[in-house]
């Protein structure tokens, strides 16, 4: 358990400082009131993999378009827009970055 926790903390620390960029070919749309990322073009089409985002994640996705960013960058967007403390914003941003990496919508 401690080894896994240590590895995860190390990964999150790298993620906090690592520059990422949203991959091209993905589009954020609102479908029936839901924020959904879908692929455009033959290289990114996978209809079994639509990514649903809550309003806050959709806000961050829009802010991240066209820029290189880190979890710290996203945390800054959160603290500028919402009443959230720095530590909570960073923790949430790291988790979101990890989810985006796992979903394959960002380049590291």
pLDDT more than 90, % of the chain: 61
The pLDDT value given to residue 14: 53
Using DSSP, state whether 106 is helix, strand or coil. strand
DSSP class of residue 104 equals T
Per-residue pLDDT of 12-66, as tens digits, reads 555 555 799 999 888 999 999 999 998 876 555 555 568 999 999 999 999 999 9
> What is the model's pLDDT at position 3?
47
State yes or no: pLDDT of 7 exceeds 70: no
Asked if 74 contacts 60 with a C-beta cutoff of 8 angstroms, the reply is: yes
């Amino acid at each position: 358990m401690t080894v896994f926790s240590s590895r995860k903390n190390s990964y999150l620390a790298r993620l906090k400082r690592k520059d990422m960029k949203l991959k091209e070919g993905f589009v954020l749309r609102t479908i029936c009131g839901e924020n959904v990322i879908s692929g455009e073009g033959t290289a990114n089409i996978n209809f079994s993999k639509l990514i649903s985002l809550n309003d806050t994640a959709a806000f961050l996705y829009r802010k991240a378009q066209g820029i290189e960013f880190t979890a710290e960058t996203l945390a800054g967007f959160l603290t500028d827009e919402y009443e959230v403390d720095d530590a909570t914003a960073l923790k949430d941003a790291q988790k979101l970055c990890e989810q985006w990496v796992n979903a394959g919508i960002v380049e590291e």
